[in-house]
């Protein structure tokens, strides 16, 4: 992941994707389209992302405010630093399994369907989607995945089966983003878990400006 090949640009998006500013109060700005690689990349580049709705409906979202973690604002507690020394971290070793574990149907508010697993695996094979995995004694115990476009990392989901396992993955992710010159870590919506690690809310117009700067050609 750190020195891999450049990502492959897929066939272009064939849909007219909704505009972020047309989102309703919940952040929903459109329904439909598909999860083809070109569609997904066009969506992230325009500030929206997909999540399924009732049954088979595909929704496109642009929350206001938007959750981000400033790369210079990650909060790492003393206990988390100890966990970072205890666990092993790998990148992109078991991408599909990480997405599947994030989509465990027994988790509350689970939304990652088999269709999403397949779609993001395609992005991964093209070099756009990445996983950060936490191991203990060779066993996968936590991780996260998301999409990297130039200076943007759009975090999608994380899971943890042991204390601090997903947090350790997040620490390693931020280290990589800083080392590789990224500028924006998008976490969609803030949660108490993410706020405890430094996540903040930014207004949609501010997010879109940060996004434009992050994905600009470098």
Query: Is 102 within a domain?
Result: yes
Q: CA distances (Å), 216 to each of 3, 4, 150, in order?
A: 20, 20, 7
Q: Per-residue confidence at 218, pLDDT binned at 50, 70, 90?
A: low
pLDDT over 90 at 156, yes or no? yes
Q: What CATH number is given to the structural domain containing 25? A: 3.30.70.3550
76, 49: one domain: no
53, 73: one domain: no
pLDDT over 50 at 1, yes or no? no
Among residues 63, 87, 120, the one where a domain terminates is 63
Considering only CA atoms, which of 110, 161, 113 is closest in space to residue 137?
Answer: 161
102, 207: one domain: yes
32, 120: one domain: no
Q: Which residues contact 58 (CB under 8 A, 6 or more apart)?
A: 31, 32, 33, 34, 35, 50, 52
71, 176: one domain: yes
| Mean pLDDT score across all residues of the chain | 93
Would you state the pLDDT for residue 155? 98
108, 211: one domain: yes
Q: Which domain holds residue 129?
A: 67-215
198, 110: one domain: yes
Query: Is 196 within a domain?
Result: yes
pLDDT over 70 at 4, yes or no? no
pLDDT tens by residue, 8-45: 999 999 999 998 888 999 999 999 999 999 999 999 99
Other CB atoms within 10 Å distance of the CB of residue 140: 18
Q: Per-residue confidence at 3, pLDDT binned at 50, 70, 90?
A: very low
26, 119: one domain: no
Q: What CATH number is given to the structural domain containing 86? A: 3.40.630.70
In terms of DSSP bridges, do strands 200-202 and 58-61 run parallel, antiparallel, or are they unpaired? unpaired
121, 193: one domain: yes
In the chain, how many domains are there?
Answer: 2
Would you state the pLDDT for residue 9? 96
Other CB atoms within 10 Å distance of the CB of residue 6: 6
104, 169: one domain: yes
pLDDT tens by residue, 105-133: 666 556 799 999 999 999 999 999 999 99
**Range with the poorest average pLDDT among 53-67, 68-82, 161-175:** 53-67
Q: Per-residue confidence at 5, pLDDT binned at 50, 70, 90?
A: confident
Would you state the pLDDT for residue 54? 76
**Spatial separation of the C-alpha atoms in residues 211 and 57, rounded to whole Å:** 27
pLDDT tens by residue, 181-200: 999 999 999 999 899 999 99
Considering only CA atoms, which of 13, 67, 76, 18 is closest in space to residue 210?
Answer: 67
């Amino acid at each position: 992941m750190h020195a891999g090949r450049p990502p492959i640009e897929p066939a272009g998006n064939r849909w007219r994707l909704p505009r972020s500013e047309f989102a309703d109060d919940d952040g929903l700005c459109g329904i439909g389209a598909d999860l083809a690689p070109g569609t997904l990349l066009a969506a992230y580049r325009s500030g929206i992302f997909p999540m399924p709705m009732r049954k088979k409906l595909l929704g496109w979202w642009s929350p206001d405010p938007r959750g981000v973690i400033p790369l210079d604002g990650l909060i790492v507690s003393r206990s988390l630093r100890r966990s970072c020394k205890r666990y092993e971290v790998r990148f992109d070793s078991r991408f599909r399994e990480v997405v599947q574990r994030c989509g465990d149907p027994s988790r509350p508010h689970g939304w990652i369907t088999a269709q999403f697993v397949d779609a993001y695996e395609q992005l991964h094979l093209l070099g756009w989607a990445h996983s950060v995995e936490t191991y203990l004694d060779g066993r996968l115990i936590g991780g996260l995945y998301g999409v990297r476009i130039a200076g943007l990392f759009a975090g999608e989901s994380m899971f943890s089966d042991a204390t601090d396992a997903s947090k350790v993955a997040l620490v390693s992710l931020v280290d990589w983003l800083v080392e590789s010159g990224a500028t924006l870590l998008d976490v969609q919506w803030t949660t108490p878990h993410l706020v405890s690690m430094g996540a903040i809310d930014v207004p949609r117009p501010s997010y879109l400006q940060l996004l434009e700067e992050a994905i600009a050609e470098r």
